Amino acid sequence: MNTKEIINSYPNYIMNTYGRQSIVLSHGKGTRAFDLDGNEYLDLFAGIAVNNLGHSHPNIVNAIKDQAEKMIHCSNVYYTPQQLELAELLAKISPNDEVFYQNSGAEANEGAIKLARKFTGKGEIISANNSFHGRTIATITATGQPKYSKDYKPLPEGFIHVPFGDLKAIKDAINDNTAAVLLEAIQGEGGVNIPPENYLKEVENICKEKDVLFILDEVQTGFGRCGKMFASEIFNLNPDITTVAKGIAGGFPMGAILANHEIAKAFIPGDHGSTFGGSPLACATAIASINTILDENLLENSKNLGEYFKNKLLELKEQYDVIVDVRGYGLMIGLELSIEGASIVDEARKNGFLINCTADKVLRFVPPLIITKIEIDRFIIGLNKIFSKF
């Protein structure tokens, strides 16, 4: 089938839940993706901040091949060396001690909410307006954007929302029934929203003071995205629970709840589970991905090229009134426009660049951490050309 036939057949067989870009992707290599018609794209979207090593990195491909030949899945009723090796690695690189393996970000947050309720014996979860925590019933309820939950009532009880960045609102919201505060380090889907200075640290301190758990959702910010392995390093945080997914395994689906010993021990056999979670294949792939990020100095690249990219975008902002703000950490960058961004995304694609727009007006750049200066320069020239036409 050709591009047109595939696009036209989709609605007959696939639920229409996405506003899709009108290309059919066929393969990728590094920072490049290719469509069925042979067009090449510089991929600054990376599968929504997932392909941190780019497309089909040889270390990821080999890890999947090698492990697939040994064993793909065996269930959590058995021990495997891969689970332990990854857990030790996660304990070393993250602020937390123990892991529960899941398959997605929503599942990780869902499990973190269960763990917080089990540990504290309390029900209420405080999260932020404009947050995004996933698409399950509990996580759309935690998500502070009513558009995601309005059609799915009744929603579970015990979720409270406060403005992101408002410390007093959190203080006021905490009460005797509060189990946890759940926040993204940097709001991704909500528009690459950076917290005010010291906000997250002060939230953490309030949580400690009031015996409330602090859950940091690093599903999007983790694994080098923001220039450090985790955003908690940027803000000097020690969350009780960290949730991760997107970039953990180089594109292989995986999520995880990371928690400190004292809290993790609240789960006992039977309390929580996952058929697929932590398969040898997922764990081997995550190990390869994390080790590659460390071995190839991709944290440095994310930090340095993120700075370079942001400065180039700030130069564009000087030229075009339509650019309202440029913000981000590492290679998680938002460019806020005074207009809706969908037409810019279309133009970019026609010029060979895959980008994304979130929160209607924020162009979001989350390229693979292996992106080079030359590629960023090429994109900036392209973007300049697009803005000059608007």
Ligand X SMILES: *Cc1c(COP(=O)(O)O)cnc(C)c1O
Using an 8 Å Cβ cutoff, are 330 and 302 in contact? yes
Kindly identify the residues of this chain, within the stretch 145-184, that bind ligand X according to CB under 6 A.
184
118 counts as catalytic: no
Q: Which two tokens stand for residue 337?
A: 């426009």
3-state SS assignment for residue 367: coil
Dist. CA 88–CA 98, nearest whole Å: 8
Report DSSP letters for 237-260, one per residue.
---SEEEE-GGGGTTS--EEEEE-
Number of residues that bind ligand X (CB under 6 A): 15
Q: Toward ligand X, which CB reaches closer, 200 or 386?
A: 200
Q: Please select the residue that binds ligand X; options are 90, 106, 263, 283, rule is CB under 6 A.
A: 106
Q: Which two tokens stand for residue 26?
A: 């066929």
Is 386 among the residues that bind ligand X (CB under 6 A)? no
Which of the following is catalytic: 122, 228, 246, 312?
Answer: 246
Q: Toward ligand X, which CB reaches closer, 160 or 219?
A: 219
Dist. CA 26–CA 136, nearest whole Å: 30
Q: Please select the residue that binds ligand X; options are 57, 117, 122, 133, rule is CB under 6 A.
A: 133
Using an 8 Å Cβ cutoff, are 346 and 20 in contact? no
Q: Please select the residue that binds ligand X; options are 130, 220, 301, 358, rule is CB under 6 A.
A: 220
Tell how strand 332-337 and strand 362-365 pair up.
antiparallel
Report DSSP letters for 206-239, one per residue.
HHHHHT-EEEEE-TTTTTTTTSSSSHHHHTT---
Q: Please select the residue that binds ligand X; options are 43, 204, 217, 375, rule is CB under 6 A.
A: 217
Q: Toward ligand X, which CB reaches closer, 217 or 347?
A: 217
List b or e across 228-238, with b for residues whose CB sees 16 or more CB atoms inside 10 angstroms: bbbbbbbbebe
Amino acid at the residue 245: A
Residue 40, strand partner residues: 34
Amino acid at the residue 67: Q
Residue 220 annotated as part of some ligand binding site: yes
> What is the contact mask toward ligand X in residues 52 to 91, using x (rule: CB under 6 A)?
----------------------------------------
Residue 275 annotated as part of some ligand binding site: yes
Residue 189: name the closest of 236, 221, 229, 157 by CA.
221
> What is the contact mask toward ligand X in residues 238 to 277, using x (rule: CB under 6 A)?
-------xx-------------------------------
What 8-state DSSP symbol labels residue 56?
A: T
Which of the following is catalytic: 119, 122, 214, 217?
Answer: 217
252 counts as catalytic: no
**What's the closest the beta carbon of residue 108 comes to ligand X, in angstroms?**
7
Q: Please select the residue that binds ligand X; options are 41, 45, 119, 132, rule is CB under 6 A.
A: 132
Dist. CA 372–CA 48, nearest whole Å: 19
Q: Please select the residue that binds ligand X; options are 105, 191, 330, 334, rule is CB under 6 A.
A: 105
Using an 8 Å Cβ cutoff, are 202 and 304 in contact? no
Using an 8 Å Cβ cutoff, are 253 and 115 in contact? no
Which of the following is catalytic: 132, 235, 309, 379?
Answer: 132
Q: Toward ligand X, which CB reaches closer, 94 or 104?
A: 104
Count CB neighbours of 261 within 10 A.
10
**Which position's Cβ is nearest ligand X?**
105
Residue 135 annotated as part of some ligand binding site: yes
Q: Which two tokens stand for residue 34?
A: 């290719």
> What is the contact mask toward ligand X in residues 330 to 369, using x (rule: CB under 6 A)?
----------------------------------------
295 counts as catalytic: no
> What is the contact mask toward ligand X in residues 107 to 126, using x (rule: CB under 6 A)?
--x-----------------
Dist. CA 181–CA 162, nearest whole Å: 10
Residue 105 annotated as part of some ligand binding site: yes
Q: Which two tokens stand for residue 111?
A: 């499990």
- Give the range of 72-80, 173-181, 213-221, 329-337 binding ligand X by CB under 6 A: 213-221
As annotated, the binding site for pyridoxal 5'-phosphate includes 105-106, 132, 217-220, 275
Q: Which residues are annotated as a binding site for N(2)-acetyl-L-ornithine?
A: 135, 274
Q: Which residues bind ligand X (CB under 6 A)?
A: 104-106, 109, 132-134, 184, 188-189, 217, 219-220, 245-246
Q: Which residues are annotated as a binding site?
A: 105-106, 132, 135, 217-220, 274-275
Active-site annotation, residues: 132, 217, 246
